[in-house]
Structure 1
Amino acid sequence: MRGDRRIVGYRLRAVLFGCCEALYLVIWSILPSLGTAHLIVFSAVNLLFWLVHPLLRGRSIWSLYGTYLSSSVGLAFAFGIESNLPLYPAYPLVVMAALDFGLNGAVSALFAFSLIYLIPAITLKGVGVYIPRVAALALLSLFAGLIGEERVRTERRLERMEDYLELLINSIKSGVVVTDIEGRVVSMNEAAEEILGYSADEMRGRKLDEEVVIHRGSSPILKALSERRPVERVDVTLLSKGGEEIPAGASVYLLEDGDDMTGAVEIFRDISDIKEREALLRRQERLVALGQMAAEVAHEIRNPLGGIRGFANLILRKAEDEAIKRHASFIIEGVESIERIVNDFLAYARPLNPIFRKADLHLLIKECLASSLEGFEGIEVKLDLSEEAREVEVDVEQMKQVFRNLFLNAAEAMPEGGRITVRVYPWRKPFRTEIGGEIVTLPPGQTVVIEVSDTGPGIPDEIKDRIFNPFFTTKTTGTGLGLAIVHRIIEAHGGVISVKDREGGGATFVIKLPMNRGGDRDGGRTDTGGGR
């Protein structure tokens, strides 16, 4: 729309230039004292004005007015009051004021010129010349003022329409990007700026997915432009300015002027939360089935284990042969190992029922790092903890279990040493979660993000969807319940946990948790994370 306004402005200036030229031609043809040289000079001055005025308008406009007024007086003193040269700046001056401010501007310019031009008229005794010239200029100011008034009214209407359209587009919660027929960005709304991380000024004029890449893989907007048909309801991966991959749903529609295509508009919506919830739901379904199976199997195994342990103890007491006693001891150790595994199974299947209280998240993380990394060498720790995300409501003991598991896994993934990075910061987007049995959407800034990264070998893509499943492990020892229990704890806190590749190698676990659950559950005491 701003481009259309510029075109209209250029056309209007051309019309006004022609009007000024035509009016002077009429005067030139009536007055025999005006020669061809006068016409050429006026045409040159008139053309120069319409070339310079658009460049200075809005910046040095008052200096431009002053230049034309002072030049009229100067020419009158220099060449005499009878000379026509003082009128050359006067005609464009009046038209310029009409163009900028309408009829009021033209009349004001006429009044200013009349007052200033009166000085040489009186000084040089040319009042007889002054009166008809001012009268002719008054007719021009009336004519130009009426045209300028309509231009001012039209521009104001366009500005109001533009402001309303901008307000309407910015009120849309989905991202909107408009391009021309070549795929160059014309405009984008505030939601698109927030999702992509680019400002509209940064993007304007740049060709999408060539000069600035916002889609991973094929570009739906370039596809729509090349095929000259809309693209509706497709899943895409957006790339933000910071390199973040954002799952989104997108549609592209063509902009047409009659039979001509003028551009395209892409409308997209961040569906990260939807994708996370879908993955969480699928995982929960698997975990529920596995948990039920684990509980049943554990109960079935526990009963015969008691009998095995009893007979092994009996053999250990009655046997006289040392070899038999040693074998009986091995049996008891094996039973105890199986019982520990069974107890882990039962603990996993048991409801968690977290007890929430306010806690200092930063201190909790530091204490868990110290206890988890004891005995490991060559491990560097980097902390990036935002003060905006310090106090949270959690079950302290359960969150200790989460952090110790993640820190221990990170350290074990780097047997030759490496770096563990922990970031804590507020999530600047809405977060949908369950609090107190109700599904709520927390506003931006009410969710904490905890990222735990390591510089180890990373996690292969083919097992990322399974690492939170119970009994799944890549280690030679262990039950494979560590991350499964971590997942259950985070879920019981109304949060989500995911894993992604770390840029430069390694893995990053990302936890999102509500900061506040609507009030202290333990009398307002803030827990530092220390145990008793």
Structure 2
Amino acid sequence: MSELEQDSTERNEELLGKIKWLMVLRLLFATFLLVATVVVQARAYPSFSNTSLASLYILTGVIYFLTLCYALLLDRIKKYIFFAYVQLVFDVLFVTALIYVTGGIESIFSFMYILTIINAAIMLYRRGGLLIASASSIGYGSLLDLQYFGIIHPYYIRASELMTYTIGYYFYTLLMNIAAFYLVAFLSSYLAEELRRSGVKLKAKQYDLDQLELLNRNIVQSINTGLITLNNQLEISYINPAVEQISGFVYRDLEGIHIGDIFPKIVPYLSISDRGGDNDDMPQPQKGIDVDFDRRDGTRLHLGFSQSILKDPGGDEIGLILIFQDLTEFRQMQEQVRRMDRLAVAGELAAGIAHEIKNPLASLSGSIQMLRDEVDFGPMQQRLMDITMREAERLNALVNEFLLFARPERAVDRSVEVNEVIEDTLEMLKNSPELSRPIRIEKTLSKNLWVHIDSQRLQQVIWNLVLNAVQEMKNSGRLSVATAIRTKRGSGDAPRDYARDRQEKLAEISISDTGPGILPENQGKVFDPFFTTKDQGTGLGLTIVHRIVENYDGKIFLDSDGRSGTTFTLHFPLAEEDPQDRPQ
């Protein structure tokens, strides 16, 4: 429906409502006239003839009959303006007849014309008011003319009581009434049109207000920022959907409870002294507050809060508004940037040192090898030569690690079946001297798990992680390796991201041990170059793992409570099976 059609429909509905009210008022007047006629007849006033009283009964019956007809035609007639004019014209005729049977020029019911004109002005505005005023003037003027020339005589006046009036009195009475008719028509139509214009403006303002309220509601409902309103007792009165998504709680669980029951670390910042001055025109946001928060599912998040005063329209404080965002990914990115900065500096240093050492070291190793092959040393000298060669090889391996850390190269990669690499790596571990302790290996592997990576790089990553896990378990323990397919939502870094739309399949590799765990203060440093808690460690193993994983668009996560056990989780984009590896 177009805007024009909708406006026409609304006007028709408005006019229909006015017509119904006119019919109700007409019935009320007819009932009043009927009761008054009965009272006059009962008291037998000598001024009223039986003919006059009978005429009043007939007029009353006609009103009831016409109103009934109007009611029956109401649902069938679509031209409400024409219908309104018909009723108003009949009302003018009825008033004229009523004045005729109640005394003509002496009738007290001439004011009924004014009521009819007011009804016309309300229903049909200026044009309708002026037309009905004209009809009333014609009807009243014709009645007085006929009475003056003696063509008709009022019913209720007996012949003996008939009074004669001068032409001047007739003219004066008619002129005053006609002037009153048009004046009432003009004023009432003016007021009706002003009321209509005010109604249109009010409706437009109300529509704008509704649209603004709807826009505000949609904004509050759609933003990814959490919004909470609190009353003066710090009890939750409203939350938007983002709060449910971030916290894991639903509104019915939070309504009316104290904010400290959900965000206990934020309460110390919500004291009255922190709410700002009472004379501020607008609530001012408070300084940012960063707190840790444990979701309902156990995920640890880092939230950034700000607060402002909630005021009612009168300017009185009625509570607080809390706005917060999930800064977990932002903090992770900050930490990653800091780590990359440290890696860049250390990488440049490592690359320079490695190149300066590698060439002399190769010459040294070659010379020692030649001496050992050509000179016949004694047992003591041979032992020293073996120590020298072994340490030279260890130093060469360390230099190679420096170079891999400093300038990781993306080798030729293809789709690799993760479980095959894990099986090969664990077989190497079983034959390694590091597995001399009674350590149980458990595997939970998902089938057909393919990632796009160089197989040697993936094996290097898994080897470093399982080797670290074994070394952490001093006497005995359990090494658990699991693979699975996970769904990543959105672009978040966390393994258990939430409330996103875009989904992506990930290959997950988790390696867990039952060792003593990693202290919380060390967990942010484990991927830093040269950080180690081992006596013989270089501090580059996990750094190289981190570089390789990120070089293939992967993510690595650490989970440890610092008391028992550590889990490293790897996420890689899931790849299709390599056609070269499919059976022919």
Q: Normalized against structure 2, the TM-score is what?
A: 0.53
d(CA) in 2 for partners of 1:425 and 1:170? 32
Question: CA, structure 1 residues 304+355, in 2 after alignment: closer, same or farther (shift >3 Å)?
Answer: closer
d(CA) in 1 for partners of 2:467 and 2:248? 35
Higher helix share: 2
Task: Report the counterpart of residue 440 of structure 2 in structure 1.
Answer: 379
Q: Which moved more, 1:274-283 or 1:177-186?
A: 177-186
1:314-372 alpha-carbon deviations (Å, 9 max, x no partner): 54322454433332333222222222222222233333215454445566556645654
Shift in Å at residue 283 of structure 1? 0.9
State whether structure 2 residue 556 is matched by structure 1 residue 476: no
- SS of the aligned residue for 1:431 comes to coil
Whether the 8 Å contact between 1:490 and 1:497 is mirrored in structure 2 is yes
Task: Structure 2: give runs of 5+ residues left out of the alignment.
Answer: 1-202, 277-284, 494-499
Question: CA, structure 1 residues 527+378, in 2 after alignment: closer, same or farther (shift >3 Å)?
Answer: farther
Whether the 8 Å contact between 1:425 and 1:448 is mirrored in structure 2 is yes
Question: CA, structure 1 residues 185+401, in 2 after alignment: closer, same or farther (shift >3 Å)?
Answer: same
State whether structure 2 residue 514 is matched by structure 1 residue 466: no
Whether the 8 Å contact between 1:426 and 1:447 is mirrored in structure 2 is yes
State whether structure 2 residue 516 is matched by structure 1 residue 457: yes
* Aligned match for 1:228, one of 271, 275, 292: 275
The residue identity in structure 2 corresponding to 1:411 is V
Shift in Å at residue 180 of structure 1? 2.2
State whether structure 2 residue 304 is matched by structure 1 residue 243: no
Shift in Å at residue 490 of structure 1? 1.4
Question: CA, structure 1 residues 468+524, in 2 after alignment: closer, same or farther (shift >3 Å)?
Answer: same
* Aligned match for 2:267, one of 193, 214, 219: 219
Question: CA, structure 1 residues 228+160, in 2 after alignment: closer, same or farther (shift >3 Å)?
Answer: same
Q: Which has the larger radius of gyration?
A: 2
1:456-505 alpha-carbon deviations (Å, 9 max, x no partner): 21122343333223333222334332111101111212233343423863
d(CA) in 1 for partners of 2:501 and 2:452? 14
- SS of the aligned residue for 2:410 comes to coil
d(CA) in 1 for partners of 2:468 and 2:336? 22
State whether structure 2 residue 405 is matched by structure 1 residue 338: no
Identity of aligned residues (%): 29
State whether structure 2 residue 237 is matched by structure 1 residue 186: yes
Task: Report the counterpart of residue 361 of structure 2 in structure 1.
Answer: 305
- SS of the aligned residue for 1:248 comes to strand
d(CA) in 2 for partners of 1:182 and 1:471? 52
| RMSD, matched Cα | 3.8
Matches within 5 A, 1:2-41: none
Whether the 8 Å contact between 1:431 and 1:442 is mirrored in structure 2 is no
* Aligned match for 2:317, one of 241, 249, 261: 261
- SS of the aligned residue for 2:259 comes to coil
1:404-454 alpha-carbon deviations (Å, 9 max, x no partner): 222221222123333445474635542269xxxxxxx99344555554433
d(CA) in 2 for partners of 1:398 and 1:505? 29
Task: Report the counterpart of residue 495 of structure 1 in structure 2.
Answer: 554
d(CA) in 2 for partners of 1:362 and 1:189? 44
Whether the 8 Å contact between 1:500 and 1:507 is mirrored in structure 2 is yes
* Aligned match for 1:505, one of 558, 564, 579: 564
Q: Which moved more, 1:441-450 or 1:340-349?
A: 441-450
d(CA) in 1 for partners of 2:226 and 2:300? 15
Shift in Å at residue 256 of structure 1? 1.1
Task: Structure 1: give runs of 5+ residues left out of the alignment.
Answer: 1-152, 434-440
Q: Normalized against structure 1, the TM-score is what?
A: 0.58
Question: CA, structure 1 residues 371+502, in 2 after alignment: closer, same or farther (shift >3 Å)?
Answer: farther
State whether structure 2 residue 329 is matched by structure 1 residue 273: yes
Whether the 8 Å contact between 1:384 and 1:423 is mirrored in structure 2 is yes
d(CA) in 1 for partners of 2:472 and 2:344? 29
Question: CA, structure 1 residues 330+399, in 2 after alignment: closer, same or farther (shift >3 Å)?
Answer: closer
Task: Report the counterpart of residue 409 of structure 2 in structure 1.
Answer: 352
1:140-172 alpha-carbon deviations (Å, 9 max, x no partner): xxxxxxxxxxxxx9xx99999987655332211
Shift in Å at residue 280 of structure 1? 1.0
Question: CA, structure 1 residues 424+208, in 2 after alignment: closer, same or farther (shift >3 Å)?
Answer: farther
d(CA) in 1 for partners of 2:444 and 2:217? 42
Whether the 8 Å contact between 2:517 and 2:562 is mirrored in structure 1 is no
Task: Report the counterpart of residue 142 of structure 1 in structure 2.
Answer: none
Question: CA, structure 1 residues 205+159, in 2 after alignment: closer, same or farther (shift >3 Å)?
Answer: farther
Q: Which moved more, 1:238-247 or 1:452-461?
A: 452-461
- SS of the aligned residue for 2:353 comes to helix
Task: Report the counterpart of residue 143 of structure 2 in structure 1.
Answer: none
* Aligned match for 1:296, one of 352, 377, 380: 352
d(CA) in 2 for partners of 1:485 and 1:402? 8
Shift in Å at residue 275 of structure 1? 1.1
Question: CA, structure 1 residues 190+423, in 2 after alignment: closer, same or farther (shift >3 Å)?
Answer: farther
